[in-house]
Structure 1
């Protein structure tokens, strides 16, 4: 008998609680329909509201409370509040978003995966018809790099102020994120083969492969970590002769994401550069409102991985029932796939949720609907 999978639900700020509500409603239906051994607990932190009441965005022992869960489902963080409202006060992003980094690092969620696939019904921002074939996976190194919070400010506020921000890269983290990229490329190729689809990528020696990994750096200007990434990439690539390889500088990659995004398969980037590229990739797949995201620790499932949509907290529309929960529901489907680990009822539930959301997106392309209306429509499909 499989152990119960436990989810920590953290709705967060702004529209987070509204979109998470729809996700939980879908989980309720799926748990009953597929007889899933699944339970969840909701926490009212991290959030702006908790900060107002307690002076911090989450309790000091927050990570210890979350550690025994199998997954964290996060709605959104960040709510600066209108300065004209006396009951709310400005909360800097550096404070409101800090729990996100604490969870990623505390649970060593070293992989951030964001798929970018243009589904029927999603808005196509690029005029080129080939943009319909966008199907990439952007993998961001999530544990170090530019986001290690090393540095400081000397003489703040004065004309002589000095601010330092250190980047830290290790060979161990570099190797594991690059190898993960190659493994995902192979996995995606197998999935395409099983579904009768094919893609072709050229190797440097002229061979044709069915998958590709593109490494992103800025090695011409950020020499030291850029060279280490490049060297590690070349060494690990020898273990995967069936996968084509490519290298782009981050500025050129941004250009080519717009110019020819269909040329990419799996993209591996550092923390900051991956952060930028994943948002751009989300637009290529229809926008932030449809883009899922996950923060994973593939090596250690004794700690929870975290699942969040790519969109922000959108405080300007919070509480109005206008938020589109599509990205949150796609994210929930990816969470169920992660929890499933292999074929079975949990994976069937994940596929059912994904397909229901995709079908709803295709049917109602471009039409504005209320948050609960979309949730109702997806739940109706799940019951069919």
Structure 2
């Protein structure tokens, strides 16, 4: 956590689609908190990366983009991507490989090797599981962000011919594995202080520790990296004797996320597996409209961290005021915690939860949701 009294400068990057709308609401809320809580925050709104920037300049970002973002303490990104619907053939659109490339460039170039995505079912949020225990979903999925399946090593030979061959190389290092798993155990230790009686009861039923780290691999089919993860997991676990251990294969984990998600605490996974599991966890905790995330380097503050909701750019509803800004606001709360403003972050989270419960079942616009959240924060004050 940063020093709470230190001036922090933030880059607001709306991006594409509904990112523009939810970022505007995030700026409203940040302005309110800055003024009400006297937070030492400043920010600038950047019109890149975005499809609109690409249309004007032929690229998603300026040539010196990485040098520019390193001047900030945190980056808040709305969403990227605009494939364009078939009903608008003249619309300027880009393939995902181009429009989403800045995400990988930020994560790798800034060495943001850990992606954290909490999944907690708030009262009033949509609940897709009938089991009453689903109300107690509260997990943290930590995804490796810098290597693994997304290193983009490989290629296509004989492209377009009947004999085409495509290769995609996965790269896992002991250093990357160890720092990821140790971070997961540290996160579990912090969460141990906040586990409630219901979780303790569920864990005692299963003979589990109240705090737990679950390792995800596919070591039965991919033994090289699966065994590396397993061995490092066992080694690091010795440093955290109070934390329970669990190991699931990714396919079994998907099943158990639906069958008994309340049993999971901290989940640690490779880049690809974490990507898949976090979307599933988001739906179980109310949907992508309530799913925040951050990309951080827990060992260093030399580069800014990147914060982004997980919902994507949703071009089919962009510009219609239908987007739910809650995921963006919960993401902003994660950013505030990172910058050392935990009380303001908790105030924002509580307001989002209170508004969600008070407005259950109502259909509201993006700005109306924010207005309700601001009203709850004003009442808290």
Q: TM-score range by the shorter chain?
A: over 0.9
Say if 1:200 and 1:211, in contact at 8 Å, map to a contact too. no
Q: Are 1:30 and 2:25 an aligned pair?
A: no
Q: Are 1:123 and 2:126 an aligned pair?
A: yes
Say if 1:201 and 1:211, in contact at 8 Å, map to a contact too. no
Residue of structure 2 equivalent to 1:315:
315
Q: Distance in 2 between matches of 1:135 and 1:259?
A: 15
* TM-aligned CA distance change 1:287 to 1:198, over 3 Å: closer
The aligned runs of 1:183-332 (5 Å cut-off) are 183-192=186-195, 199=200, 209-332=209-332
Q: Distance in 2 between matches of 1:117 and 1:185?
A: 15
Q: Are 1:353 and 2:356 an aligned pair?
A: no
Q: Distance in 1 between matches of 2:313 and 2:96?
A: 12
- Unmatched 5+ stretches in structure 1: 341-345
Shift, 1:370, TM fit: 0.4
* TM-aligned CA distance change 1:51 to 1:191, over 3 Å: same
Q: What is the aligned length?
A: 375
Cα-to-partner distance string for 1:256-294 (whole Å, 9 max, x where unaligned): 000011111110000000000000000110000111111
Q: Are 1:94 and 2:89 an aligned pair?
A: no
Shift, 1:155, TM fit: 1.4
1:71 to 69, 74, 81: 74
Say if 2:85 and 2:316, in contact at 8 Å, map to a contact too. no
Residue of structure 1 equivalent to 2:170:
167
Say if 1:209 and 1:243, in contact at 8 Å, map to a contact too. yes
1:105 to 103, 108, 116: 108
Q: Distance in 1 between matches of 2:208 and 2:162?
A: 57
Q: Distance in 2 between matches of 1:42 and 1:87?
A: 28
1:377 to 367, 372, 376: 372
- Unmatched 5+ stretches in structure 2: none
Shifted more, 85-94 versus 6-15: the winner is: 85-94
Shift, 1:61, TM fit: 1.2
Q: Distance in 1 between matches of 2:255 and 2:212?
A: 19
Q: Distance in 1 between matches of 2:6 and 2:131?
A: 48
Cα-to-partner distance string for 1:72-117 (whole Å, 9 max, x where unaligned): 0000000112345465233111111010010011111111111111
The aligned runs of 1:50-65 (5 Å cut-off) are 50-65=53-68
Say if 1:201 and 1:212, in contact at 8 Å, map to a contact too. no
Q: Distance in 2 between matches of 1:235 and 1:200?
A: 28
Q: Distance in 2 between matches of 1:35 and 1:197?
A: 37
* TM-aligned CA distance change 1:202 to 1:375, over 3 Å: closer
Q: Distance in 2 between matches of 1:92 and 1:209?
A: 45
Q: Distance in 1 between matches of 2:357 and 2:246?
A: 33
* TM-aligned CA distance change 1:199 to 1:248, over 3 Å: same
Superposed CA RMSD in Å reads 1.6
Cα-to-partner distance string for 1:127-179 (whole Å, 9 max, x where unaligned): 11111111111110111000001111111111111111100000001001101
* TM-aligned CA distance change 1:171 to 1:335, over 3 Å: same
Q: TM-score, normalised by structure 1?
A: 0.94
Shift, 1:198, TM fit: 5.3
Q: For 1:273, what is the secondary structure of its paired residue?
A: helix
Say if 1:68 and 1:302, in contact at 8 Å, map to a contact too. no
Shift, 1:123, TM fit: 0.6
